[in-house]
Amino acid sequence: MAVLVGFASVGIPSIFADEVVLVPATTVKQAIGGKVRGQIVSESSEEVVVQLGGTTVRVPIDQIASVKYDGQPASIQLAEIRESAGQYTEAVELLRKAAVDAANKPLIVQAVLFREAEVLAELALIEPQRLDEATDKLRKFLTTYPTSRHAGPARSMLARIYVQKGDYASAGREITELGKLPGAAEGAAVLKATLLSKQGKYEEAIAELDRLIAKFPKNSADQRSAQLAKAQSLAGLKRFDQAEAIVRELIQANAAENAAVQAPAYNTLGDCMREANRPKDALIAYLHTDLLYSKNKEEHPRALYQISQLFRKLKQDSRADEVMQRLKQDYPRSPWLNEISKP
């Protein structure tokens, strides 16, 4: 989740300002064109306070899509370019440079340190040997900035890392703490339901997810996450037709070029069909991720692994070997490579 984008505006002095970009259908009355521009005077886990001349605007955290700071270093945008290209190590180095360059601007430093930790966490999800490093960075950030506006995303990412480690107790604790933050209760509930599903508690997960899906705005990021989690739980109960229907509806409701939505959706569709013993249909679903959404570095190796296994099942060993070689070459430290030796 990017929180720093773009260079500071250039031009006459009056246009220099911090910029808080708001979510669609915002309730912040002082917004112009979906943004509040002025001087950010404080941030917390509850709100960002912006000074507009003689007016003070308090923007709730759950109304914020992103923040741009006046005078933020150019290395921030370069880091985002590297991250979007899957060059996470280079992105981390650029963010560390940005923290030095912005040393006299504490809000920018805080945001950059969070992004560094978050990018490391994204890297750790595809390179498990970085999990401890990412965990330490996120924990250090939360200790240093316990009331930061980034506290919610930091705890959410920590929960995901603990799930990756199989440490469900720690994941549960982070989700509980996340739920205490302003505006974070619903996101925490989705994570809790996902954790229940991982533990095989599918009925409990579905009951909670149904409540959330009905409550969330239609086709919002939260609703999409809940729908995918429900599909996975339904597949766990072998209710494959229902799971497939949910995922196909989600795929149809979103732009084809939206890799952040489509890649996990097609992979989840592939999982459902694979579990339903429909290998050819599952293969087609995973191939969508491989051919169209390979920039999604968390979902792409997952798809490659499953494609190789399905080609093997379909007695196409040469193609299975080819795809497995791509997985080894492009993602040499992927946790999916560990699946090869499992029975």
pLDDT of residue 31: 87
Whether 291 maps to a domain, the answer reads: yes
Answer whether residue 163 is part of any domain. no
Q: Number of folded domains in the chain? A: 1
pLDDT at 186: 86
Q: pTM of the entire structure?
A: 0.79
- Section 325-342 average pLDDT: 82
The secondary structure of the chain, three-state, reads CCCCCCCCCCCCHHHCCEEEEECCCCCCCCCECCEEEEEEEEECCCEEEEEECCEEEEEEHHHEEEEECCCCCHHHHHHHHHHHCCCHHHHHHHHHHHHHHCCCCHHHHHHHHHHHHHHHHHHHCCCHHHHHHHHHHHHHHHHHCCCCCCHHHHHHHHHHHHHHHCCHHHHHHHHHHHHCCCCCHHHHHHHHHHHHHHCCCHHHHHHHHHHHHHHCCCCCHHHHHHHHHHHHHHHHCCCHHHHHHHHHHHHHCCCCCCHHHHHHHHHHHHHHHHHCCCHHHHHHHHHHHHHHCCCCCCHHHHHHHHHHHHHHHCCCHHHHHHHHHHHHHHCCCCHHHHHHHCC
pLDDT (tens digit per residue) in 92-147 = 999 999 999 999 999 999 999 999 999 999 888 778 888 899 999 999 999 999 99
Is 329 within the bounds of a domain? Answer: yes
Average pLDDT value for the chain: 89
Q: What is the pLDDT of residue 340?
A: 66
- Whether residue 51 lies inside any domain: the answer is no
Q: Is the pLDDT of residue 240 over 90?
A: yes
Q: Is 15 inside any structural domain?
A: no
For residues 41-49, average pLDDT: 94
Which of 6-15, 20-29, 131-140 has the weakest average pLDDT? 6-15
Q: Does residue 270 lie within any of the structural domains?
A: yes
Average pLDDT of the segment spanning 245-256: 94
Residue 309 has pLDDT above 60, yes or no: yes
Domain assignment of residue 328, given as a range: 254-343
65-69, 122-126, 304-308: least confidently modelled range: 122-126
Residue 262 counted as domain residue: yes
Task: Give the pLDDT confidence score for residue 292 in this predicted structure.
Answer: 96
Q: Which of 26-30, 290-294, 321-325 has the lowest mean pLDDT?
A: 26-30
Asked if residue 9 has pLDDT above 70, the reply is no
What is the 3-state secondary structure of 197-245? HHCCCHHHHHHHHHHHHHHCCCCCHHHHHHHHHHHHHHHHCCCHHHHHH
Decide: 295 and 314 in contact? Cβ < 8 Å.
no
Please compute the mean of the pLDDT values over residues 272-287 and round it to a whole number: 96
Q: Is residue 37 situated within a structural domain?
A: no
Please report, for the domain that includes residue 295, its CATH number: 1.25.40
pLDDT score recorded for residue 342: 53
pLDDT score at 202: 95
Q: Find the mean pLDDT for residues 161-167.
A: 88
The percentage of residues in the chain with a pLDDT greater than 90, rounded to a whole number, is: 69
